[in-house]
Amino acid sequence: MTLPANKRIAESTVRRLSMYLRYLEGLDGVGQLTASSDELAHLCGTTPAQVRKDLSFFGSFGKRGLGYPVHELTERLREILGLGHAWQIVIIGAGKIGSALAEYRGFRQRGFQVVGVYDKNPEKIGRAWGDATVRDMESLAVDVAEQRVDIAVIAIPADDAQDVVDKIVAAGIRAILSFVPTSLHVPPHIAVKTVNMAMELEGLSFALTNRAD
Amino acid sequence: MTLPANKRIAESTVRRLSMYLRYLEGLDGVGQLTASSDELAHLCGTTPAQVRKDLSFFGSFGKRGLGYPVHELTERLREILGLGHAWQIVIIGAGKIGSALAEYRGFRQRGFQVVGVYDKNPEKIGRAWGDATVRDMESLAVDVAEQRVDIAVIAIPADDAQDVVDKIVAAGIRAILSFVPTSLHVPPHIAVKTVNMAMELEGLSFALTNRAD
DNA sequence: ATAAGTTTGTGAAGTATTTCACAAGCCTCC
DNA sequence: GGAGGCTTGTGAAATACTTCACAAACTTAT
């Protein structure tokens, strides 16, 4: 088992690993046996040195003069990223975005299984959404006690977010993917990632405004 | 006009400015007159020194002993981020995600106006989506010549992405927000931001797997 | 077997970003 | 109007991340 030692791995490195994996799966699918850091770098939009450095944190997978074995590296990366088993996720917030997420193919394709959809709005509770039925937010804690939930995806109004997050944490879920444009306060052992579309758009607005002409 | 000098502004700084702005708008809304770097830092989940450093790139907006004037700083940040006028965006890809985006309130609330929705699937062309009608992807170039488009948001299958991006660039659009889990190749003067949900989830998977217990 | 040609793995160097720490400035109160 | 209490703005230090550059190791060709 390639343990990441006691070194802290940079978030940017993990993001790139995820990208390497995606392209390696593609190469594996078409039967390519090896890939060089140069090839991976071009595919992923980074540099060969970066690829080698990223991978070297976890061991030496390549063969000098030849490159990396595609299939084996794919499996190693899955292992490193913890994709060996299906993570179970719940979606909280049965609005537009929650809806798109619940039906999003990419989740299941990559091993994330939606095991529940929650909302606090009585009008939405009980409706069928994809495979699941929308359940009352209040029953989350009880449900989690019966069926393991690894990750909560929240797509709810900003004003409700901290309350909901507190309930998620209290229920024992240790990872949150947030689509809420607010900073969330959680204990240090909880992993949080935020997707903030407004922030990305404003980044583009800044780039367009302050471009070097 | 607070020009960002000739210094390059880090992307992370821009993201935080966007977050400061969001909270300042809230404070302005409830009539708070000043805010210290300490208060902003706590709201945004960063440090006071970071707040001061970020803002100092653009000028000195605060008053020692007192903090930053909420309303004025709000306006300054809008200006810096280029939010003074409405940016016009098109959404390309009338699928689940494109749909959620087209109806997403957050866009218009923050000054981004959806002026068109495009797809290449004949079955989808012509349908009404929110305020707009889905148009043929092929007519993008002609449409852009008639009505300014600042940003293209793409929510399409990965295999189509590079083709579509090339058309976007050829049409003269200079900023792209991508929901496609692929690296895109564009000329250097084009600004691209990518939102990759699978990557975020895998980041959580990594965190859960390699947590410090 | 040897030479030529690749490509990895990795310290070291270079850049970028964050944090520190404190002088300087402003407000308030006496 | 001077003293005390905050809070900014910012060089300098610390930390984090990326790129360089090259020895070592492997493959292939002859």
Question: What is the distance in angstroms measured between the alpha-carbon CA of A76 and the sugar C1' of C12?
Answer: 29
Read off the pTM.
0.94
Which residues does chain B have within 8 Å of residue A185's beta carbon, measured at their own beta carbons? 45
Q: How far is CA A94 from CA A19, A111, B20, B210, in A?
A: 29, 22, 28, 31
Which residues does chain A have within 8 Å of residue B185's beta carbon, measured at their own beta carbons? 45
Q: Quote the distance between the C-alpha of residue A197 and its chain's center.
A: 16
Q: Read out DSSP for A140-203?
A: HHHHHHHS---EEEE---HHHHHHHHHHHHHTT--EEEE-SSS-----TTSEEEE--HHHHHHH
B88 closest CA partner among B175, B179, B193: B175
B77 closest CA partner among B127, B24, B135: B24
pLDDT digits (tens, 9 = 90+) for A30-81: 999 999 999 999 999 999 999 999 999 999 999 999 999 999 999 999 999 9
Assess contact for A89 and A115: CB atoms under 8 A.
Answer: yes
User: What is d(CA A149, CA A87) in angstroms, rounded to the nearest whole number?
Assistant: 8
Task: List the single residue in B89, B110, B205 with the smallest CB-CB distance to A87.
Answer: B205
Provide CB contacts within 8 A for A100, sequence distance 6+: B96, B97, B99, B100
Q: Please give the nucleotide, over all strands, whose C1' is closest to the CA of residue B67.
A: D7
A97-117 burial code (b ≥16 CB/10 A, e <16): bbbbbbebeebeebbbebbbb
User: What is d(CA A24, CA B145) in angstroms, rounded to the nearest whole number?
Assistant: 40
Task: Walk along chain B (213 residues) and give the pLDDT tens digit of each residue.
Answer: 445 556 799 999 999 999 999 999 999 999 999 999 999 999 999 999 999 999 999 999 999 999 999 999 999 999 999 999 899 999 999 998 898 888 888 888 889 999 999 999 999 999 988 778 999 999 999 999 999 999 999 999 999 999 999 999 999 999 999 999 999 999 999 999 999 999 999 999 999 999 765
Two tokens, residue A7: 């070194």
A43/B81 Cβ within 8 A: no
Two tokens, residue A66: 């030849």
Please, what is the end-to-end C-alpha distance for chain A in angstroms?
Answer: 50
Q: Please give the nucleotide, over all strands, whose C1' is closest to the CA of residue A13.
A: D17
Name residue B64's amino acid: R
A59: left (phi over 0), alpha (psi -120 to 50) or beta: left
The dihedral built from the CA positions of residue B51, B52, B58 and B62, taken in this order, carries a sign that is positive
Strand D contact set, beta carbon < 7 A: A 8, 10-13, 46-47, 49-50, 52-53, 63-66; B 36-38, 48-49, 52-53, 55-56, 60-68
Q: How far is A155 from chain B (nearest CA, A)?
A: 12
What is the per-residue pLDDT for A131? 78
Chain A's closest residue to B201, CA to CA, is A177
Which residues does chain A have within 8 Å of residue B21's beta carbon, measured at their own beta carbons? 202
Provide CB contacts within 8 A for A112, sequence distance 6+: A86, A87, A88, A89, A151, B201
Assess contact for B112 and A201: CB atoms under 8 A.
Answer: yes
